[in-house]
A and B are shown apart, each in its own frame.
Chain A
Amino acid sequence: MNLWKLVWRNLLRRKGRFAFTLGGVAIGMAAFVSLLSIGQGLELEIKKQAQGLGANLVITPKGWCAYEQISVLTGEQLPEAIPMSELDKIMAVPGVKSAVPYLNEKTAFRNRPVPVIGILPEEMRALQKWRIAAGRYFKAADEPAVVVGAAIAQQFQLKPGDTFTVRGRSLPVVGVLREAGNKDDVASFVPLPVVQKLYAVEGKVSFVAVQVEDLQQVDAVSLRIQEKANVAVVTDKQLLSSILSIVGTVSGAMQAVAAVGVLAAAFGIVNTLLTAVYERRREIGIMQAVGGTRRTLFSAFLLESGLYGLIGGVLGLLIGMLGAYVLGPYLTDNAFTASLRQSPVPSLDSATVLLTFGLSIGLALVAGLYPAYRAAKLTPVEAMRYA
């Protein structure tokens, strides 16, 4: 006989109660794990999009809030608020290597919304290092034609030679981009002058992506641009962190809700173990008579509690990951993320798995303290008095 064997036998004595208490822990942990992994997946996706931007600085109209900054990363429709004249000023600033304007619009194609992004073909290609999967790239800076992202091509079965509709005007699809793993996959691209004309916003763009010549000079270049042009400037890192902080607030709130569930499960453990101590009073006395120490009794109940945490944590992790894959697309379907189009894939790193187990086992052990203390506190004679 040893402690583990004794505890294991005790754990399985009341199978129904064991299952229900364990279910509570598993569900609480599953909620925690799934929300955590959905949140992490979302962050990964946003970071990937930020990399896809390929710029060191983003020039936006003054007064943009973080919602609009997110749209820079997602390719969502944006107000066209920067005059082209500002673009020339920006390009003239020393230290600016390239300044690539984006005009983010939206069209309905076969009753589906598709982003239409107006670009300067050569500048854009230099920035994004796009590769063509089928057909060709634009021949001229004002060619009335469309190049579509890989996901759009697949969704609508588009190939070079097909026709795409932008605001009622039919344009030929001349090329399909190779899959990039970011927002470019889910957009259609049209030379800037063509989009400006179709949407009647001549001379305006949504935002400008700027590359600097020397990364050390990012902040200096940013200041210089703000002096010369009537625009706001954010660095790619600022953009990313302000978006992540919003997403973090949302997923933090979801995790707080899940934490309440985990806490409720911990009280379930307390309840189950207190009942067990009450039921086993007599045998606690017997064990003391036979020579069991208070420490042994305390350890036995604490270990029993810890096992609820361990087993519940494992089950919770499995159910939670499953839940994240099944529910993730629905849960992340909100203002911040709907525009990501590709649902983020839930993600858990090993540190999070360890955190989950730590939380589950740690909380279970804390939950076991009071019942274990109650068991150890019983004196043999008072414990054995109960028939």
Chain B
Amino acid sequence: MPEAVIRIENVTKVYGTGEAAAAALSGISLDVERGAWLAIMGPSGHGKSTLLQIMGGLDQPTSGQVHLDGTELTRLRPAELAHTRARSIGFVFQSFNLLSHLTALENIELALWFGGKGDDRARGMALLESVGLAGKAHLPPGALSGGQQQRVAVARALANDPDILLMDEPTGNLDSASEAELLSLLSSLHGQGRTIVMVTHNPAVAERAQRVVHVKDGRIDKERFNGA
């Protein structure tokens, strides 16, 4: 049995208090093996994104434990958590989330700096090259197409060579051609041994993952393995 690089144990997340309290996650447990490609599906508002945020240490669970590569995230101080996010995790979001006043290259350099790599312009350029956008290095995100922006976001996620990529609807804002490009990029990243967890609404996108988990009412409703 391969080791679990992400282990979620009996995690709950409640927003608000008292009568206004709403449970986004109600005791969910999930193991993600190293090198796996996992898709999380389910209706809107049932806790998919919350689960992904807790996995990546962006949000803290109300109860339960989150182990990432053997580290218990809920015990980390904010600065340690930030370092973990910088070095071990790469995030990709539906709306790209690039900083609009920086160039494509600078967005990647920002992540390199946060990861402790300092002012590494050459690595920034190499990363852009790897997603086929070396020619757009000095353009701001606003001058790029959605697909190009998302590839910059992927390059940024890869800046510090993390083992784990967490993606929230990465193809949600892309046309079908860009979607295909991104998926083939993800395939090759998966082929390099990276662990990918992505939230998606799109069954065709989920089809590319090895394993699909359905979340409903803050719990795992059902799961299946593609091609098994």
Given A1-B110, A287-B110, A380-B59, A292 and B119 touching (CB < 8 A)? no
Which residues of chain B have C-beta atoms less than 8 A from A283's C-beta? Answer: 99-100
The distance in angstroms between the C-alpha atoms of A343 and B122, with both chains bound, is 61
Interface residues on chain A, number (Cβ under 8 Å): 24
Question: How many cross-chain pairs have Cβ atoms below 8 Å apart between A and B?
Answer: 73
Within residues 237 to 267 of chain A, which ones have a CB less than 8 A from any CB in chain B? none
Mark interface residues in A253-295 (1 if CB within 8 Å of B CB, else 0): 0000000000000000000000000000011001111111111
Which residues of chain A have C-beta atoms less than 8 A from B160's C-beta? Answer: 291
The distance in angstroms between the C-alpha atoms of A39 and B109, with both chains bound, is 50
Which residues of chain A have C-beta atoms less than 8 A from B98's C-beta? Answer: 286
Given A2-B113, A384-B97, A387-B95, A293 and B59 touching (CB < 8 A)? no
Which residues of chain B have C-beta atoms less than 8 A from A287's C-beta? Answer: 99, 110, 114
Which residues of chain A have C-beta atoms less than 8 A from B102's C-beta? Answer: 9
B98 to chain A, nearest CB (A): 8
User: Is B95 in contact with A293, judged by CB distance below 8 angstroms?
Assistant: no
Which residues of chain A have C-beta atoms less than 8 A from B91's C-beta? Answer: 289-290
Interface residues on chain B, number (Cβ under 8 Å): 32
User: Is B59 in contact with A381, judged by CB distance below 8 angstroms?
Assistant: yes
Instruction: Tell me which of A1, A2, A10, A286 has the highest count of chain B C-beta atoms within 10 A of its own C-beta.
Output: A1
Q: Can you list 18 A-B contacts with CB-CB less than 8 angstroms, sorted by A residue number? A: A1-B113, A1-B119, A9-B101, A13-B101, A283-B99, A287-B114, A288-B58, A289-B85, A289-B93, A289-B97, A290-B91, A291-B82, A291-B83, A292-B114, A294-B79, A379-B59, A381-B59, A384-B97
Given A6-B110, A10-B101, A286-B97, A291 and B85 touching (CB < 8 A)? yes
User: Is A293 in contact with B83, judged by CB distance below 8 angstroms?
Assistant: yes
Q: Which residue of B lies closest to A296 (CB)?
A: B114
Does any Cβ of A come within 8 Å of B86's Cβ? yes
The distance in angstroms between the C-alpha atoms of A289 and B99, with both chains bound, is 12
Mark interface residues in B136-154 (1 if CB within 8 Å of A CB, else 0): 0000000000000000000
B208 to chain A, nearest CB (A): 24
Which residues of chain A have C-beta atoms less than 8 A from B118's C-beta? Answer: 2
User: Is A293 in contact with B111, judged by CB distance below 8 angstroms?
Assistant: no
Within residues 81 to 130 of chain B, which ones have a CB less than 8 A from any CB in chain A? 82-83, 85-87, 91, 93, 95, 97-102, 106, 109-115, 118-119
Q: Which of A1, A9, A379 contacts B112 (CB 8 A)?
A: A1
Q: Which residue of A lies closest to B159 (CB)?
A: A290
A36 to chain B, nearest CB (A): 38
Which residues of chain A have C-beta atoms less than 8 A from B119's C-beta? Answer: 1-2
The distance in angstroms between the C-alpha atoms of A379 and B58, with both chains bound, is 8
Which residues of chain B have C-beta atoms less than 8 A from A292's C-beta? Answer: 82, 86, 110, 114
User: Is A381 in contact with B109, judged by CB distance below 8 angstroms?
Assistant: no
Q: Which residue of B lies closest to A379 (CB)?
A: B59
Which residues of chain B have C-beta atoms less than 8 A from A13's C-beta? Answer: 101
Q: Which of A1, A282, A381 contacts B58 (CB 8 A)?
A: A381
A290 to chain B, nearest CB (A): 5
User: Is A290 in contact with B110, judged by CB distance below 8 angstroms?
Assistant: yes
Given A2-B113, A384-B97, A290 and B156 touching (CB < 8 A)? yes
User: Is B99 in contact with A286, judged by CB distance below 8 angstroms?
Assistant: yes
User: Is B78 in contact with A294, judged by CB distance below 8 angstroms?
Assistant: yes
User: Is B53 in contact with A291, judged by CB distance below 8 angstroms?
Assistant: no
Q: Which residue of B lies closest to A14 (CB)?
A: B101
A383 to chain B, nearest CB (A): 10
Which residues of chain B have C-beta atoms less than 8 A from A384's C-beta? Answer: 58, 97
The distance in angstroms between the C-alpha atoms of A350 and B102, with both chains bound, is 39
The distance in angstroms between the C-alpha atoms of A296 and B86, with both chains bound, is 13
User: Is A290 in contact with B101, judged by CB distance below 8 angstroms?
Assistant: no
User: Is B109 in contact with A1, judged by CB distance below 8 angstroms?
Assistant: yes
The distance in angstroms between the C-alpha atoms of A77 and B111, with both chains bound, is 76
User: Is A290 in contact with B58, judged by CB distance below 8 angstroms?
Assistant: no
Given A1-B109, A6-B110, A291 and B86 touching (CB < 8 A)? yes
B55 to chain A, nearest CB (A): 12
User: Is B58 in contact with A289, judged by CB distance below 8 angstroms?
Assistant: yes
